[in-house]
């Protein structure tokens, strides 16, 4: 009788569960039917004639550039309301995703301490808090903790708060740091007395947030930005305790295609001023013991000559592309003879290996290299007694030299992770060849096991015969096939490499059957400097073709199908998204374009817009007709057509300093007017932030949950 009752209870429970599920399905269907009746906002058309080189373009939405126009703000708010309405059926799901992603993160956490100038420095987080606490301990890790800055307390009352460039004076008594409360990357430079815990009264506006201390503990060098273009163009010298209006201008960069910065060498011997553009660099140096002295030029700028410097004993070590070293080489020159004719070769140029960076120590030098897309860490002793690489075994991974401020040590600290392996911070003893894992990222919740995931690297044939690498990761129970959802990520500009890194957040996709893939397209340096050169300027379309060909390859090889393929990219990667869906919209079911750079021609013609003048060597200068014609041929905004487009989620920030909010706003307005499909087109503008999104560690997760809910909803995955 008991067994019969149990069976009956099971049947009743099943019926109840099906009933609840049916009710939820009916509720969602009812909500979706209601959403179909919601009309998207329509931006007014105010034709603006834009003419150059005898070519006339009509921009109906140019007026959206007017940030102070109340109608512009109203339009953005209407788009936000439309987004909220059209995604309201995923609100609970977004909340669940957020809690799920948050639950994997160790809230009470701290960094591996590093030693500098007699102190151990630690960054830690407390449960429930959004921002870090920076602290230190004197002499050893058992010493009492001293709070340098508690960003949580400083951020109170602010919707956005970013602290940058924390920099301690040589006598360990004063902290300098930059604060941005608007998300425009315009930092107020502040100073804190670490003995009295009080802030100095001076507040230096509109800086990069970084600074360089002279040895006298009172002189600080810093870079200030142009208030309109946000180009860092001036280096000033500030004397602690004086009015910033009295600060002395030390260096001014008058070439509008160059930016400038200042730092102190790792050896602590010199203050160094750098100036850079896309193709050219130039450096000056000053003895840190003589802050009132004059800076000496290392090597005057020559178009196409790139170099950076590190100091060791009587030499500057020069990382450079001199004499056609496309993948860079290492040279050295005496501090008293710095011009390029005196440079001596240390590590020669290699066609198959990119020399990415160097770190100098007293007994050895560490080289970060990249070969066939994989990065290597190479250690070479100054006496040439040893020269070897650290061993890495996975097919795809990411390794990089970590924070190593100490000069006289036999230990190097590096980080290692992969698409399936959480990040580890590792100390390697150069003499004993032993390593110690100081910390491995914890993935909480008890469900994560790296053996449950698979990663691989495949190569797609691009239309011009080049091979494009694609890194993939997925749950071992996910079987690639025509019904398998796949998210393909890409960037492809500035030589930036999308590294094969672990993400605990990404597990929310992988555990729901998604494959995650990265297309290592031209425009990045994944396969060396030539891979970057072949995806910029008049080769820019290679970036878009590579991505489309990678997508086609994934479909052809049976990993997914066009009905289940998604794409994502941000900033210049948003340009990639816009170009690809103009070229091949049929390849994708949905696309996420974050802070997308989509109005290429108009932006690059306006030199008052931040970043424009410094990027002529990346994209071209449309004031020159050949560049104008080429850019116009791919600019996403200018090439929208009356045809079907994939489902689209476009995100931006009102205060974005890198890609102004009006680019995605105009793009969406024009797409609404011209596209012929009924697919989703959603624009979400964060009215409080800029290019990097939310500043708090948990608020940032809410943005990811929003994006993931968009993708999962398109797949019919609702829990």
Same domain, yes or no: 429 and 472: no
Please identify which of the residues 277, 415, 571, 635 carries the catalytic annotation.
571
Please identify which of the residues 656, 657, 707, 713 carries the catalytic annotation.
656
Same domain, yes or no: 405 and 529: no
Same domain, yes or no: 537 and 611: yes
Say if 207 falls within a structural domain. Answer: no
Average pLDDT over residues 573-598: 98
Same domain, yes or no: 575 and 701: yes
Residue 632 φ/ψ, nearest 5 degrees: -65, -30
Q: Annotated catalytic, 511?
A: no
Q: What is the CATH number of the domain that holds 476?
A: 3.40.50.1820
Q: pLDDT confidence of 26, banded at 50, 70, 90?
A: low
Same domain, yes or no: 431 and 468: no
Q: pLDDT confidence of 502, banded at 50, 70, 90?
A: very high
Same domain, yes or no: 508 and 389: no
Which is higher by pLDDT, 326 or 660? 326
Say if 157 falls within a structural domain. Answer: no
Average pLDDT over residues 328-355: 97
Same domain, yes or no: 389 and 418: yes
Please identify which of the residues 424, 691, 695, 707 carries the catalytic annotation.
691
Same domain, yes or no: 399 and 543: no
CB atoms < 10 A from the CB of 250, how many?
A: 19
Q: pLDDT confidence of 30, banded at 50, 70, 90?
A: low
Domain end: 392, 414, 442, which one? 442
Same domain, yes or no: 481 and 589: yes
Nearest to 670 by CA among 35, 39, 42, 37: 42
- % the chain with pLDDT above 70: 94
Say if 495 falls within a structural domain. Answer: yes
Say if residue 300 is exposed, middle or buried (CB neighbours under 10 Å; 0-12, 13-18, 19+): exposed
Question: What pLDDT score does 656 carry?
Answer: 75
Q: pLDDT confidence of 12, banded at 50, 70, 90?
A: very low
pLDDT digits (tens, 9 = 90+) for 375-428: 999 999 999 999 999 999 888 899 999 878 888 899 999 999 999 999 999 999
Question: What pLDDT score does 374 carry?
Answer: 94
Distance of CA 38 to the CA centre of its chain: 35
- Can you spell out the DSSP letters for 563-611? GGEEEEEETHHHHHHHHHHHH-GGG-SEEEEES----HHHHHH-TTSTT
Say if 235 falls within a structural domain. Answer: no
Question: What pLDDT score does 690 carry?
Answer: 64
Q: pLDDT confidence of 719, banded at 50, 70, 90?
A: confident
Same domain, yes or no: 399 and 541: no
Same domain, yes or no: 583 and 677: yes
Q: Annotated catalytic, 30?
A: no
pLDDT digits (tens, 9 = 90+) for 632-681: 999 999 999 999 999 999 999 998 777 889 999 999 999 999 999 999 99
Domain that holds residue 425: 359-442
Average pLDDT over residues 574-595: 98
Residue 694 has pLDDT above 90, yes or no: no
Say if 4 falls within a structural domain. Answer: no
Question: What pLDDT score does 604 carry?
Answer: 94
Q: Domain total for the chain?
A: 2
Nearest to 594 by CA among 652, 645, 647: 652
Average pLDDT over residues 30-40: 72
Residue 200 has pLDDT above 90, yes or no: yes
Return the structure tokens found at 218: 């009172």
Nearest to 372 by CA among 352, 348, 389, 355: 352
Say if 329 falls within a structural domain. Answer: no
Domain end: 411, 442, 473, which one? 442
Same domain, yes or no: 432 and 475: no
Global pTM value: 0.90
Say if 342 falls within a structural domain. Answer: no
pLDDT digits (tens, 9 = 90+) for 229-256: 889 999 999 999 999 999 999 999 999 9
Q: Which residues contact 219 (CB under 8 A, 6 or more apart)?
A: 213, 237, 238, 239, 240, 291
Domain end: 418, 442, 466, which one? 442
Say if 14 falls within a structural domain. Answer: no
User: Which residues are paired to 272 by β-bridges?
Assistant: 263, 285
Distance of CA 537 to the CA centre of its chain: 21
Q: Annotated catalytic, 556?
A: no
Tell me the pLDDT of the chain averaged across its residues. 93
The b-or-e profile of 372-388 (16+ CB within 10 A means b, else e) is: ebbbbbbbbeeeeeeee
Return the structure tokens found at 547: 């991505």
Average pLDDT over residues 511-521: 98
């Amino acid at each position: 009788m008991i067994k019969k009752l149990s069976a009956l209870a099971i049947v009743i429970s099943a019926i109840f569960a099906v009933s609840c599920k049916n009710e939820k399905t009916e509720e969602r269907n009812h909500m979706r039917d209601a959403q179909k009746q919601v009309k998207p906002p329509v931006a007014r058309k105010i034709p603006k004639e834009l003419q150059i080189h005898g070519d006339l373009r009509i921009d109906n939405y140019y007026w959206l550039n007017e940030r102070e126009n109340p109608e512009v703000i109203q339009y953005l708010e209407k788009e936000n309301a439309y987004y909220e309405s059209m995604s309201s059926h995923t609100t609970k799901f977004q909340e669940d995703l957020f809690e799920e992603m948050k639950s994997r993160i160790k809230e009470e956490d701290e960094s591996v301490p590093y030693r500098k100038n007699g102190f151990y420095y630690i960054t830690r987080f407390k449960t429930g808090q959004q921002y870090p606490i920076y602290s230190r301990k004197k002499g050893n890790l058992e010493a009492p903790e001293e709070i340098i800055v508690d960003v949580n307390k400083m951020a109170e009352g602010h919707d956005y708060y970013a602290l940058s460039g924390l920099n301690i004076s040589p006598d360990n008594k004063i902290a300098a740091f930059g604060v941005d409360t608007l998300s425009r990357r315009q930092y107020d430079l502040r100073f804190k007395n670490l003995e009295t815990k009080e802030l100095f009264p001076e507040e230096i506006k509109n800086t990069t947030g970084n600074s360089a201390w002279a040895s006298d503990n009172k002189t600080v060098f810093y870079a200030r930005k142009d208030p309109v273009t946000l180009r860092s163009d001036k280096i000033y010298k500030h004397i602690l305790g004086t009015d910033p209006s009295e600060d002395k201008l030390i260096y001014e960069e008058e070439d509008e295609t160059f930016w400038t910065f200042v730092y102190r060498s790792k050896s602590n011997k010199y203050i160094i001023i750098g100036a850079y553009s896309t193709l050219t660099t130039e450096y000056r140096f000053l003895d840190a013991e003589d802050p009132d002295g004059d800076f000496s030029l290392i090597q005057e700028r020559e178009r196409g000559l790139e170099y950076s410097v590190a100091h060791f004993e009587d030499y500057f070590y020069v990382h450079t592309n001199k004499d056609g070293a496309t993948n860079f080489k290492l040279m050295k020159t005496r501090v008293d003879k710095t011009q390029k004719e005196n440079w001596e070769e240390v590590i020669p140029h290699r066609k198959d290996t990119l020399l990415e960076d160097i770190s100098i120590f007293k007994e050895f030098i560490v080289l970060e290299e990249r070969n066939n897309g994989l990065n290597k860490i190479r250690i070479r002793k100054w006496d040439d007694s040893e020269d070897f690489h650290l061993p890495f075994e996975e097919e795809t991974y990411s390794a990089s030299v970590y924070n190593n401020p100490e000069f006289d040590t036999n230990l190097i600290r590096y980080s290692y992770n992969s698409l399936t392996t959480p990040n580890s911070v590792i100390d390697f003893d150069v003499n004993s060849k032993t390593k110690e894992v100081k910390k491995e990222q914890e993935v909480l919740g008890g469900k994560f096991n790296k053996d449950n995931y698979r990663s691989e690297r495949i190569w797609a044939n691009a239309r011009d015969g080049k091979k494009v690498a694609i890194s993939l990761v997925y749950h071992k129970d996910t079987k690639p096939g025509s019904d398998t959802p796949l998210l393909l990520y890409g960037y492809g500009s500035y030589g930036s490499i999308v590294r094969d890194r672990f993400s605990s957040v990404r597990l929310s996709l992988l555990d729901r059957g998604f494959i995650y893939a990265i297309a290592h397209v031209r425009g990045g340096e994944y396969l060396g400097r030539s891979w970057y050169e072949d995806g910029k300027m008049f080769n820019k379309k290679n970036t878009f073709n590579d991505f489309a060909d990678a997508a086609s390859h994934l479909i052809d090889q049976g990993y997914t199908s066009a009905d289940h393929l998604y794409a994502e990219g941000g900033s210049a990667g948003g340009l990639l998204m816009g170009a690809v869906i103009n070229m091949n919209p049929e390849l994708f079911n949905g696309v996420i374009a974050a802070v997308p750079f989509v109005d290429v021609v108009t932006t690059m013609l306006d030199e008052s817009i931040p970043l424009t003048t410094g990027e002529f060597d990346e994209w071209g200068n449309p004031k020159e007709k050949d560049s104008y014609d080429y850019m116009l041929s791919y600019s996403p905004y200018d090439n929208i057509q009356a045809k079907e487009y994939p489902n689209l989620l476009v995100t931006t920030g009102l205060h974005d300093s890198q890609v102004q909010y009006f680019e995605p706003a105009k793009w969406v307005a024009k797409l609404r007017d011209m596209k012929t499909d009924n697919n989703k087109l959603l624009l979400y503008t964060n009215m409080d932030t800029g290019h990097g999104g939310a500043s708090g560690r948990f608020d940032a997760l809410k943005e990811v949950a929003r994006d993931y809910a968009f993708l999962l909803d398109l797949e019919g995955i609702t829990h």
